Amino acid sequence: METLGPPYLLIATPALRDPNFVETVVLMGHHDEQGALGWVINRLHERPARETLGAAHRERIHAETPLHVGGPVPTDALLALFHGAVDGVESTELAPGLSLSRSADILPPLFSRAPGSGLVRGRLVFGYAGWGPGQLEREMLEGAWLALPNDQDLAFAARVDDLWQRCFERLGINPVLLTSPSGRKH
């Protein structure tokens, strides 16, 4: 099965019943024969990011900056996913146009303005989603996921409450009409 090269968006279909992934959109940063890695981008933590940061960093971000639940696998650090590069900040380019940083120095350049200002092209996340070798390909063959080529407007959209539906619209698919491999509608 041929897959898109990261970054791309992975869209959960109605066939996927795992509560960790129901109606999720995952920004994929790695996918090869060794496995796949991504971050759920349309699930928000119950508290804004500012409330989860230590006192030394709270004032470095806008009060309304959301914190995303990146997936069911916990991490020990807050991660910033962002488009492009930020000068003077330690980061890793995961895929063309998608970088990751654990450095607190990323906070002011990306998250000091209000979400939706059009200037923020990043997400703060805790946790991630990972798949072992061949696992994601099997799940895609079973109809659990659809892939959407990288779309920065969707990947870094300020509004995430209807992101799952907007991804299906971009694909030209009504998710209500999807059927499982057995032919049952969901």
pLDDT of residue 113: 82
**Structural domains in the chain, sorted by start:** 8-79+124-177 (3.40.1740.10)
- What would the pLDDT profile of 15-32 be if each residue is shown by its tens digit? 999 999 999 999 999 999
pLDDT of residue 78: 87
Around Cβ 184, how many Cβ atoms within 10 Å?
A: 8
Rounded to the nearest 5 degrees, what angle is found at the Cα of 43, between the Cα atoms of 39 and 142? 60
Terminal CA-CA length for the chain: 24
pLDDT reading at 175 higher than 80: yes
- What would the pLDDT profile of 119-172 be if each residue is shown by its tens digit? 558 899 999 999 999 999 999 999 999 999 988 889 998 889 999 999 999 999
- What would the pLDDT profile of 51-70 be if each residue is shown by its tens digit? 888 888 888 898 888 999 99
d(CA 84, CA 144): 30
